[in-house]
Amino acid sequence: MKFKTIIEPFKIKVVEPIKFTTEQEREEILKKAGYNVFNIPAEDVIIDLLTDSGTNAMSSKQWAGIMDGDESYAGSKSFFRFESVVRKITGFKHIIPVHQGRAAEKILFSIVAGPGKYIPNNTHFDTTRANIEFVGGNAVDLPIPEGIQPDLWHPFKGNMDVERLENFIKEKGPENIPLVMLTVTNNSNGGQPVSMQNIREVREVCDKYGIPLFLDACRFAENAYFIKKREKGYENKTIFEIAREMFSYADGCTMSAKKDAFANIG
């Protein structure tokens, strides 16, 4: 019999002990919190499934980078390094660092959204929805019908329904839609990927009505990986080339760097 052993290509150098509780203690903790998990001290949680935000292990190089970080108040060399890498991947000129994704959304939507404004998305992440609604705007989800049927197989269940998007723009008027957003991958809808073809088609509709397209790009790298694996014509392209093409259809993006293999804040 042949064994296939997968050896993880890294060493685990740091451990953080977790506190174990008994079933009875957990019942007490839940009761005391009024059955609201947000009221439970994190120390009392054995496995925390609240979010994937900032929960990844970082590499030794990343931790070493913190020591080498330049905290200068202005003109920090760390900023210029960050800016040049983000520019290389996205092709965007103006890069604004924020402490995490929701802060970027707050800046963007307090400028463009507001009462009477509609922001369509394949599916809004809870923080983009909250930032739009906070300023009085309307967050609208337009996923493809296959995307909301868990038992169905489809390679790109994160796609936006392009026909519904166009009808929606005609109904509300392009002047009331400051931008269209695409979340790659579509995290609030199961972390499903969006195809390059879908991004291109959404771009075409946006161009037809003069509306900018923004990506919610927090897991663009994984989305690019799915395009490489599942979309015809991309098998031999690198993840970098695919990501670059994805961003080339967008006018801008917001991004949390706390997901996948990036960092625990930023």
Ligand X SMILES: *Cc1c(COP(=O)(O)O)cnc(C)c1O
Q: Is 110 exposed, middle or buried (0-12, 13-18, 19+ CB in 10 A)?
A: middle
Contact between 228 and ligand X (CB under 6 A)? no
At how many degrees (to 10) do helices 220-230 and 239-248 cross?
A: 110
**CA-to-CA distance for 69 and 151, rounded, in angstroms?**
47
* β-sheet bridge partners, residue 186: 192
**CA-to-CA distance for 249 and 156, rounded, in angstroms?**
18
200-219 positions binding ligand X, by CB under 6 A? 216, 218
Of 244, 257, 256, residue with least CA distance to 88 = 244
**CA-to-CA distance for 139 and 199, rounded, in angstroms?**
19
Retrieve residue 158's tokens: 């994160």
Contact between 259 and ligand X (CB under 6 A)? yes
For the CB of residue 45, give the shortest distance to ligand X in the complex, in Å. Answer: 18
Tell me the CA end-to-end span of the chain in Å, nearest whole number. Answer: 47
Binder to ligand X among 131, 159, 187, 198 (CB under 6 A)? 187
**CA-to-CA distance for 206 and 181, rounded, in angstroms?**
10
For the CB of residue 104, give the shortest distance to ligand X in the complex, in Å. Answer: 8
Q: Which residue is nearest to ligand X (CB)?
A: 101
Nearest CB to ligand X, comparing residues 117 and 259: 259
Helix (H) or strand (E) holding 183: strand 180-183
Half-sphere exposure of 45 toward its Cβ, with a 13 Å CA cutoff?
A: 12
For the CB of residue 146, give the shortest distance to ligand X in the complex, in Å. Answer: 20
Binder to ligand X among 122, 131, 159, 183 (CB under 6 A)? 183
As a whole number of Å, the CA-based R_g of the chain is 21
Would you give the binding string for ligand X spanning residues 145-174, x where CB under 6 A is met?
Answer: ------------------------------
Nearest CB to ligand X, comparing residues 29 and 58: 58
Would you give the binding string for ligand X spanning residues 66-85, x where CB under 6 A is met?
Answer: --------------------
- Stretch of 1-9, 129-137, 220-228, 256-264 contacting ligand X, by CB under 6 A: 256-264
Would you give the binding string for ligand X spanning residues 100-139, x where CB under 6 A is met?
Answer: xxx----------------------x-xx-----------
Binding residues vs ligand X (CB under 6 A): 53, 100-102, 125, 127-128, 183, 187, 216, 218, 256, 258-259
